[in-house]
Structure 1
């Protein structure tokens, strides 16, 4: 297995939910965690447990994305892992969506992934190794009512990561995508711990364990895509 001790890992959307669970687990495995989110207060609380680096930032802003990479390299001298987890969602009939909501969802889910990867890829290629893990969604593989905008963003993110996987493979850089089903988080203004959520939803720690599984795979093993969803979820 690949040892995560002292590997430098950026995790976006780390202040709560899936991102927080990933950051905590990677720190537990000995990684140096760079936690990124918009909430400075929540990041500081997390950083007290991970003992890494906290960077308040908006991943959809190009200068912020480059700042995240620059600060990581300045602090640790290298970057081994990039987990693109930051994401937002909203569900409605297509005609009820405002263009501004389309922009918000695509800015975080698609543009944010693009900008972080764009800033990190030259470093990964130069060192001949690295691992990008994108947290997509099972809706990148299916469609459903009220999911026109969110689903479109996840299809776009999935296509981008899939193409990037082929671009970077000759350079020794891995790109993996995880497709979670329903997860008990704050997503779409939900509150964790809702009635029966333990029976119908995955836990953030389930996704964190999936990330760990991918990252700890031996160097010659490549996990391109990993679907994870509760057995009760209907397709």
Structure 2
């Protein structure tokens, strides 16, 4: 995209911590946001502060995804982009996780992405320039992490789906971006369970938000398809 100004961008999973940073970053670039979450109450405050609509949608069915895209098109007359941030972190070693964990990992991370992309593609193909982005994980970029096998598999599927989608969209005006947090993201939950020293290495959501904006604005002369975002570099503490 040459610019995000006045572009209508759907953001799913809009009530999350990373989503809040992404929404603020895209709004600063002049985008018109459409916030989508499975619980409208999670995004009511943000929608008010950004002066933008909030829609409640589960996205676990194609019909639900189609309905929310139709609502956005009816209100704004078009849709220019999608940033898909739905997806639960499912922890546990292979011999500890259950069937329900498997279903939750793939339903939230992969199924919602597939249905939402399928629902929004017709609208995006009608635009002169458009954009789709999703969030993967370091495990999908080649890192290994014991105790996160299902999450790694689901995020690997997310990354593979978006890579294949990018290939399918070659020759179109629809760009694709995949953001890979290469470490733990700084959320209230993650910070509470870590030591003060470990918390210094958390990836701030603003860093991920900047990566999403950079990917969205790429395309002329080169594209940013895969963007790994690493933990911050910290000065070495001197031992006296």
Normalising by structure 2, we get a TM-score of 0.89
* Corresponding residue pairs, total: 231
After TM superposition, give the deviation of residue 198 of structure 1 in Å: 4.8
Aligned to 2:20: 20
Relative to structure 1, the CA distance from residue 207 to residue 103 in structure 2 (aligned partners, 3 Å threshold; closer, same or farther) is same
Equivalents in 2 of 1:101, 1:38: separation in Å?
19
Aligned to 1:217: 218
Deviations 1:104-156 (A, max 9, x none): 11111001111111011122223353110111111102232111100000111
Unaligned runs of 5+ in 1: none
4+ residue stretches of structure 1 with deviation over 6 A?
Answer: none
After TM superposition, give the deviation of residue 56 of structure 1 in Å: 1.4
Equivalents in 2 of 1:222, 1:160: separation in Å?
18
Equivalents in 2 of 1:133, 1:192: separation in Å?
29
Larger radius of gyration: 2
Equivalents in 2 of 1:103, 1:173: separation in Å?
30
Aligned residues of 1:24 and 1:49 also touching (Cα < 8 A) = no
Equivalents in 1 of 2:113, 2:140: separation in Å?
15
Aligned residues of 2:35 and 2:54 also touching (Cα < 8 A) = yes
Aligned to 2:190: 190
Equivalents in 2 of 1:172, 1:8: separation in Å?
15
Report whether the alignment pairs 1:4 with 2:4: yes
Alignment of 1:85-104 (within 5 A): 85-104=85-104
Relative to structure 1, the CA distance from residue 144 to residue 104 in structure 2 (aligned partners, 3 Å threshold; closer, same or farther) is same
Aligned residues of 2:60 and 2:108 also touching (Cα < 8 A) = yes
Relative to structure 1, the CA distance from residue 30 to residue 231 in structure 2 (aligned partners, 3 Å threshold; closer, same or farther) is closer
Report whether the alignment pairs 1:150 with 2:151: yes
Aligned residues of 1:43 and 1:56 also touching (Cα < 8 A) = no
Deviations 1:135-184 (A, max 9, x none): 11111022321111000001111111000000012222111111012211
Aligned residues of 1:13 and 1:20 also touching (Cα < 8 A) = no
Normalising by structure 1, we get a TM-score of 0.91
Equivalents in 2 of 1:112, 1:39: separation in Å?
15
Aligned to 2:54: 54
Relative to structure 1, the CA distance from residue 12 to residue 23 in structure 2 (aligned partners, 3 Å threshold; closer, same or farther) is same
Unaligned runs of 5+ in 2: 235-240
Query: Structure 1 residues 216-225 or 176-185, which shifts more?
Result: 216-225
Aligned residues of 1:94 and 1:148 also touching (Cα < 8 A) = yes
After TM superposition, give the deviation of residue 220 of structure 1 in Å: 3.8
Equivalents in 1 of 2:191, 2:101: separation in Å?
21
RMSD: 2.1
Q: Secondary structure at the match of 1:200?
A: coil
